[in-house]
């Protein structure tokens, strides 16, 4: 088995790390303070093929693989989980359904501009009364002449307040639970589509998250993804498998950032006459953290590779997200503990990673849902 990154992957890692350090890091403090995403990054990253690195070159992407995608997410999350949140929605949830199931016209109108960073995308699935049970959504799309009339509410939508379009999930046939779902591309400015409010979160402040309203919102039939009514649930499931692998990289990047901050702090913090990194308790914690980061990264890359081979990794993708997200919670707890009282102060960046990382066991499928998926896949 070859555990080495390809030369292309190594070159990409160096390039995206330099970009994140030079262009993104200086924007973090202001973005966190204002709660505004630095939208200029979409075009900047699009121009260099960083925004959607695994889509084909002819569409404006980076021409890479799923590992390339994971490298991008890990390196950006090391700098800011919030900023990376907006980017990873663009590179996955908001574009993959169009890339895999959309028409050529949809790809021309929405996918290519999104890959270039000229349009910002969002993905509208979660509703006030529908979270883990995605099949229980209430948003309806009723056929009306040459279009559909959408009515419903979406919540916790990353990029919602700043999006140029949202891939909205709705029932065309609510009598068929799950099966009667379709995905629709709804453009900003469409009558009846509005952002009800921008949501304020515990962490990931740089990511703009909102509540979206569809009220008698008329969408052209050609904006439905897929050639027939129904089948949207399978499109969602396929998109989420890819996203769960990406979450392994998101957790790894956050853990890496917390580890680096803690190593530096422990070497500088003097207690009882010596740096606290000299004490066995601190050494053991850091050794365990370093070990778990290597496991998280290796596991993520392996399943990303299998995904690229076209293998069914529904179980393994759930395992990646479950293990990485839960392991991250222990890592963040230990790094906060090593920082002591200073870690609880807002002026120390470790608290930001601690707050940001808490989300990862919840979003895009809770840890409980991952356990259900794994249990089903192993025959329980």
Residue that has been written with the tokens 């419903």 in this structure: 152
Q: What angle do CA 240, 241, 243 make, to 5 degrees?
A: 60
- For residue 130, what is the DSSP state? B
Quick one: which of 195, 139, 203, 141 has its CA closest to 163? 195
Query: How far apart are the C-alpha atoms of 289 and 258, rounded to whole Å?
Result: 10
For residues 336-346, b (16+ Cβ closer than 10 Å) or e, as one string?
bebbeeebeee
Query: How far apart are the C-alpha atoms of 306 and 310, rounded to whole Å?
Result: 7
Query: How far apart are the C-alpha atoms of 271 and 211, rounded to whole Å?
Result: 48
306, 316 Cβ separation under 8 angstroms: yes
> Torsion angle of alpha carbons 183, 93, 163, 114, nearest 10°?
-100
167, 97 Cβ separation under 8 angstroms: yes
Residue 326 annotated among the catalytic residues of the structure: no
Catalytically annotated residue among 14, 234, 364, 377: 364
76, 7 Cβ separation under 8 angstroms: no
- For residue 298, what is the DSSP state? H
Q: Which helix (H) or strand (E) holds 209?
A: strand 209-220
Label the pairing between strands 165-171 and 121-124.
parallel
Which residue numbers are catalytic? 364
């Amino acid at each position: 088995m070859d555990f080495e990154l390809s030369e292309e992957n190594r070159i990409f890692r160096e390039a995206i790390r330099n970009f994140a350090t030079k262009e993104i890091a200086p924007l973090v403090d202001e973005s966190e303070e204002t709660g505004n995403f630095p939208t200029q990054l979409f075009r900047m990253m699009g121009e260099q093929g960083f925004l959607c690195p695994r889509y084909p070159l002819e569409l404006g992407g980076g021409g890479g693989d799923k590992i390339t995608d994971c490298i991008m997410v890990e390196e950006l999350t090391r700098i800011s989980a919030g900023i990376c949140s907006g980017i990873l929605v663009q590179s996955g949830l908001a574009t993959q359904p169009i890339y895999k199931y959309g028409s050529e016209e949809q790809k021309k109108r929405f996918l290519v501009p999104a890959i270039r960073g000229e349009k910002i995308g969002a993905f509208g699935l979660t509703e006030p009364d529908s979270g883990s049970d995605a099949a229980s959504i209430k948003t309806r799309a009723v056929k009306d002449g040459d279009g559909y009339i959408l009515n419903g509410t979406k919540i916790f939508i990353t990029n919602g307040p700043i999006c140029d379009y949202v891939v909205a999930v709705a029932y065309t046939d609510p009598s068929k639970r799950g099966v009667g779902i379709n995905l629709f591309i709804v453009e900003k400015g469409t009558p009846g589509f509005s952002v009800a409010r921008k949501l304020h979160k515990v962490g990931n402040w740089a990511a703009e998250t909102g509540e979206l309203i569809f009220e008698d919102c008329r969408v052209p039939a050609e904006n439905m993804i897929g050639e027939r009514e129904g089948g949207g649930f399978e499109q969602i499931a396929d998109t989420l498998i890819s996203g769960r692998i990406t979450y392994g990289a998101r957790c790894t990047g956050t853990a890496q950032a917390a580890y680096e901050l803690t190593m530096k702090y422990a070497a500088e913090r003097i207690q009882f006459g010596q740096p606290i990194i000299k004490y066995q308790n601190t050494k053991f914690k850091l050794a365990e953290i370093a070990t778990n980061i290597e496991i998280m990264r290796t596991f993520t890359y392996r399943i990303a590779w299998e995904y690229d081979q076209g293998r069914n990794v529904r179980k393994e993708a759930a395992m990646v997200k479950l293990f990485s997200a839960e392991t991250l919670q222990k890592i963040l707890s230990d790094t906060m503990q090593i920082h002591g009282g200073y870690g609880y102060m807002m002026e120390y960046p470790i608290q930001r990673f601690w707050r940001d990382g808490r989300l990862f066991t919840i979003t895009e499928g809770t840890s409980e849902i991952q356990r259900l998926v794994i249990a089903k896949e192993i025959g329980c």
